[in-house]
Amino acid sequence: MKLTCIIGGDGDSCHSLDLSQFNQDSNTVIRVDDSVEGLTEISALCESKKPDSIVLIAKAPLRFRDDLQIGLLQRLIEIGINPASIGFVNLNGIVLCSDSEEQVLARLQITTDLAHKRVAHGKPLSVEKVKPIKRCLVVGELLENDLKLLAQNGIELIHIWSENNREIHSDVGLQSLSGLPGDYQISLLQSGNRAEEHRCGAVVVNTSSLNREQTKQLAEAMKIPLPADTFRLPPDRHVLTAGVWVLEKENEQQTAGWVAEVSSFLSQETIESYLDACTVNLAKCGLCGTCVKTCMFSANSIDLKSGLIHFDQTRCTGCGNCVTACPVLARDLHHYSNSYMASIADNLHAFKGRDGIRILGLFCENNGYKAVNYLAGAGKRVSSSYYFLPVKCGARIGTEIIPDSFQNGFDGVALLVCARDECNQLVGSLDLERRFNLYRTIMKAQGQESGRMRIFSIKEKELGNVHDGLEQFAQYLDDLRTDQAVFSQL
């Protein structure tokens, strides 16, 4: 059974949609508002029906996902639903390029079907259980009182960059942090370039006490991209991971909250983590080493003893770079599987576009997603020639999407991704540009119009800028088609 949930309150663009027109073939469709009651209705239905796939449709549901993590999503996981069975549809990406309610419904139908398909093509995420280590890495200065409270709760502390409260300490800093919430491996740098290995269950960072150099080093060790114009880590736990607390400033009001959270986190019997890592098919692997070179998170290495690729799934962020790069398709992702990616263009026959002009727009889940939300929120519209779909990162977009799209009647492909220095996956945008610029030269050599593919590099502070570029691109494709029609008549 497939379950489709449209979530939105009064005044949301989805509120007035006529669901009778929605294809309900083996698909239960419900509409709820985003109140506690509405979300409870979804989890109750999931508990009783145990659907194969669930698609949550809302305005910016990845933003909404933050709340779901501590609410609906957590509840769904508790009742035994694998996170890989849950798909999201961002209504903003649909409204942005629709001229009428009829178009919204038609696009929503296609997008929802694709979201169910994406879930069906993926594999369940594996669950890892760890017994939490009652040790906490404390980064920067924290109030003595809070540290005492942690110690009273039986939590051992490891300090770095702390003048006042250091016990075990590193003179130089943090080299790496990997592992799972509740059991992280940390490598502390000592003077003389000596590394010291430790394990801890949780990490607390007081960003306000760190200087620019320390923050940069920490961000690199924790694989967190920092915005170019700031040296503060985002005080936003979902950007990091469970088991990591980032405090902007410590004060008395904050204290009770985070100390209690860390203490109860580390007091659990076991901590379960779903690993959103890629998969490796060792039978297909030709040991070319491409994934070792492409992975920025050191998740791959060649095991000289076994002569096989060694993959550390606890380091993998599921960015998809190695999946796109592997020459024999030995790697895959749960959320954006090879078979799903290969089927996208083929599944969009029902999409008409404007005056027959059709443009496939793929947007990354970071700045691409933010740009779509920003434009929709600002009441901007772009040409209804566009059809927008999310992809995890530019890292996951392979060049085969170009010929696939053209063969399926698309006039152009727009890729909305982060500017290089803001890529959530460090080199996703850079590698996308490298691949597609190379492909552009192949298109030229084949006598194809290479301008039919365009990359939009988006900065978080300039989300609105992409609007004019999208309109110009649609106009360019329109003119190109007119020119070609005139040319063919001569």
Q: Which of 75, 107, 118, 331 binds ligand SF4 (CB under 6 A)?
A: 331
d(CA 414, CA 479) in angstroms, rounded, equals 16
* Binding-site member from 3, 60, 139, 299 for ligand SF4 (CB under 6 A): 299
Provide the CA 352 distance to its chain's centre, in angstroms.
29
Angstrom distance (rounded) from CA 303 to CA 471:
50
Please state whether beta strands 183-190 and 173-180 pair in parallel, antiparallel, or not at all (unpaired).
antiparallel
Among 397, 337, 396, 330, CA closest to 114: 337
Residue whose CB is less far from ligand SF4, 210 or 295: 295
Element (H, E) at 483: helix 466-489
Q: Does 151 bind ligand SF4 (CB under 6 A)?
A: no
Using alpha carbons, list the distances in angstroms from residue 173 to 139, 141, 170, 177, 344: 9, 14, 5, 11, 45
Nearest Cα to Cα of residue 321 among 431, 438, 435: 431
CB of 365 to ligand SF4, least distance (A): 14
CA separation for the pair 105, 98 (Å, rounded): 9
**Comparison of 120 and 288: residue with beta carbon closer to ligand SF4:** 288
Q: Closer to ligand SF4 at the Cβ: 84 or 372? A: 84
User: Quick count: other Cβ atoms within 10 Å of Cβ 268?
Assistant: 13
The answer to whether residue 295 forms part of the interface with ligand SF4 (CB under 6 A) is: yes
Binding segment for ligand SF4 (CB under 6 A), chosen from 67-75, 139-147, 315-323, 404-412, is 315-323
Phi, psi of 196 (to 5 degrees): -120, 125
**Sole window of 328-336, 341-349, 406-414, 416-424 interacting with ligand SF4 (rule: CB under 6 A):** 328-336
- Cα–Cα distance list, 419 to 318, 414, 423, 431, 473 (Å): 19, 15, 6, 12, 18
- Asked if 419 interacts with ligand SF4 (CB under 6 A), we say no
How many residues line the site for ligand SF4 (CB under 6 A)? 28
Q: Is residue 320 close enough to count as binding ligand SF4 by CB under 6 A?
A: yes
Q: Which is nearer to ligand SF4, 107 or 223 (CB)?
A: 223
Query: According to CB under 6 A, which one of 5, 189, 319, 357 is a site residue for ligand SF4?
Result: 319
3-class state of residue 175 by DSSP:
strand
- In the complex, what is the shortest distance from the CB of residue 431 to ligand SF4, in angstroms, rounded to a whole number? 9
Residue 273 interacting with ligand SF4 (CB under 6 A): no
- Mapped onto helix, strand or coil, the DSSP state of residue 310 is strand
198 close to 186: Cβ distance less than 8 angstroms: yes
Torsion angles phi and psi, residue 323, rounded to 5:
-65, -45
Residue 275 in the binding site for ligand SF4 (CB under 6 A): no
CA distances from 113 to 92, 149, 272, 385, 402 (A): 17, 51, 31, 20, 22
Interface stretch with ligand SF4, choices 175-183, 312-320, 345-353, 400-408 (CB under 6 A): 312-320
Q: Which helix (H) or strand (E) holds 146?
A: helix 144-152
Interface pick for ligand SF4 out of 57, 94, 147, 326 (rule CB under 6 A): 326
Among 124, 257, 286, 464, binds ligand SF4 (CB under 6 A): 286
| Binding of residue 278 to ligand SF4 (CB under 6 A) | yes
Stretch that binds ligand SF4, among 50-58, 322-330, 351-359, 450-458 (CB under 6 A): 322-330
Min CB(312)–ligand SF4 separation in Å:
8
Nearer to ligand SF4, 314 or 408 (CB): 314
Asked if 288 interacts with ligand SF4 (CB under 6 A), we say yes
Residue from 94, 330, 362, 376 in contact with ligand SF4 (CB under 6 A): 330
Could you give the CA distance from residue 320 to residue 157 in angstroms, rounded to a whole number? 35
Nearer to ligand SF4, 3 or 393 (CB): 393
Question: Would you count residue 177 as binding ligand SF4 (CB under 6 A)?
Answer: no
Site residues (vs ligand SF4, CB under 6 A): 277-278, 280, 285-291, 294-295, 297, 299-300, 309, 316-323, 326, 328, 330-331
